[in-house]
Structure 1
Amino acid sequence: MPIPASVRFYTYFPLLIPSIPCSIFILYHLLTNRTLRQALNNHVIILILILGLVYELTDVIWLMHYYRVGISLFQIPAFCLIWVFIDLGIFVTITILV
């Protein structure tokens, strides 16, 4: 039995709202504190946070729009290709970094 789109939307939405400020907060502290920024082990975490934030601000929001309305944000092939590239590219990159 598939999960309805409205349930998917209302599952993503409350989780996305605190996720974006938390990502920005952690990224801000990692980038502004010199000792944290220069630690070699934090470089991968900073990169994962940047990619995750881009993923949240693009792909997840576009997906939530699709779940809410039922159609993609822009119905042109170029947008769909960009969406697939961002979705797969960032997901695979984060998976490799982790």
Structure 2
Amino acid sequence: MNNNRSFNNTENISLATTEIFLSYNARFWILLLFDIPSVACALFVLFCILIDRKLRSNIKNHVLVIILLLGIGSQLIDVPFYLNFIVHSSVVPSKPSTCLLWWFVNIGMYDGGVIFMAWTAFERHIIVFHEQWISTRKRRIIIHYFPMFFLILYIFIYYIYAIYYFPCENTYDYTLPFCNEFPCYTYDPIMGIWDWIADITSPTFLEVLLSVAFIF
């Protein structure tokens, strides 16, 4: 417990130090000016895919739709929360539910995007080099739809449990962005290591490896 507190204090000092590099006004306008066109572009691409039957039925676009939805969720919740923090110099409203939602979006949706980027890199190899694996409806259900459905369930079930229900005590510091940066499950020796290896490191490594392999 003392080690966790020491680590938390170190994180807080580090986070507070990084806060001085840019003024609040500069950070606010940079984020706002980039977030608005980013949301508009994401919604436009999503709209184009969904209204066009040919694009909508193309399996190459299905993962793209999921990644766009995860990204839009982050853009519409995570960024506005941070902008609100910049304006008030604290988390508003200052209550645990705000922090939990912020963590879920900032960590869960971001890591979900990383996982689906890795799946996209893997599925690209199937589409290009093993198209016969998805040549029938049954094969598409097994190879294409089922893995996506499983990953969606995994991401939401895992992060809802980890952030909202995991039996540990969160520390909420409303004077810092993200309410103290990390939820308590990340300090658990099992949940924390699993999250780091299975949800962050491995998908990132696989995405890079598969993308490089595709080039060569």
Structure 2: distance between partners of 1:59 and 1:85: 9
Structure 1: distance between partners of 2:113 and 2:62: 13
More RCO (CA 8 Å, sep 6+): 1
Match of 2:75 in 1: 56
Match of 2:58 in 1: 39
Query: 1:2 offset after TM fit, Å?
Result: 2.5
Matched, 1:90 2:109: yes
Runs of 4+ in 1 over 3 A off after TM superposition: none
Q: Which amino acid aligns with 2:23?
A: P
Match of 1:23 in 2: 42
The CA deviation string for residues 13-54 of structure 1, in whole angstroms up to 9 with x for no partner, is 111121111111110011110111111110010001111111
Q: Which runs of 5+ in 1 are unaligned?
A: none
Q: Which amino acid aligns with 1:3?
A: L
Structure 2: distance between partners of 1:68 and 1:79: 16
Matched, 1:72 2:91: yes
Please say which of residues 17-26 and 2-11 is displaced more in the overlay: 2-11
Structure 1: distance between partners of 2:23 and 2:115: 31
C-alpha RMSD of matched pairs (Å): 1.3
Structure 1: distance between partners of 2:95 and 2:34: 29
Structure 2: distance between partners of 1:19 and 1:86: 17
TM-score by length of 1: 0.91
Percentage identity across aligned positions?
30
Larger Rg: 2
Q: Which runs of 5+ in 2 are unaligned?
A: 1-19, 118-216
TM-score by length of 2: 0.43
Q: Size of the alignment, in residue pairs?
A: 98
